[in-house]
Each structure stands twice: as C-alpha cells, then as structure tokens.
Amino acid sequence: MLALCVVGVDAMNDEFTEEKLKGIERYHKTLMNDISKLCEKEDFSLLQLMRIKSKLSETIEQLEFWGERDNSQRFYEELKSHVKWILKNYSQELKKLE
C-alpha cells in the first residue's frame, strides 16, 4: 500500500498522459477495494457511509460526463481529485489494512 501511495501522489502532481491515467485508474481501483474492505471491518457510522457513497456517486457522474465528451484531461483531473479526497479523509484508516 505504501508504494501505491507514493505512485498516487507522484501521479497527482503531474499533467495528464494516457499512461498516468491508466496508473491513476489502477490506483483508484485499489483504493476502492481497500475502502470496501475497511467498511466491512470498521464500524462506520451511517453518516460516514452516506458521505462516502455521495462522493463516489458524484465522481462517477463526472467521470461519465467527461468520458462521453472524450475530454481525457478533465476525466483525469476528476479521478485525481477523488483520489486526493480519499487520501485526505481516510488515509489513517487505510493504513490499518496494511
């Protein structure tokens, strides 16, 4: 997980490339899997779970919107923003899974 965090942070500091998009997508998938495992193990409040669901739903909408318009740069920025949000809000909890 630590290596993924370093790769994720590096990718978030750079401009879009197809390779970086694929990397951030893999990183996002790993984070979502970890968040799912965390939700199974931890005792999140209903409010916390609703917040995660809401943020993920907003992100999916944005990714679909920019994907339909074939705007890879904005797609990348939305995905990068979501990864930053996860790290900011749940990095301590994710470390518990290591």
Given a cut of 80, whether residue 28 has pLDDT beyond it is: no
- Phi/psi for 56 (5° steps) reads -65, -40
Structure tokens belonging to residue 66? 């920019």
Higher-confidence residue of 66 and 13: namely 66
Give the model's pLDDT for residue 3: 34
- Domains of the chain, by residue range, sit at 2-95
SS3 22: helix
Given a cut of 60, whether residue 14 has pLDDT beyond it is: no
Is-contact 4 27, C-beta < 8 A? yes
In whole angstroms, give the CA distance from residue 27 to residue 32.
9
Percent of the residues in the chain that have a pLDDT greater than 70, as a whole number? 74
Taking CA atoms, 81 is separated from 66, 84, 85, in Å, by 14, 5, 6
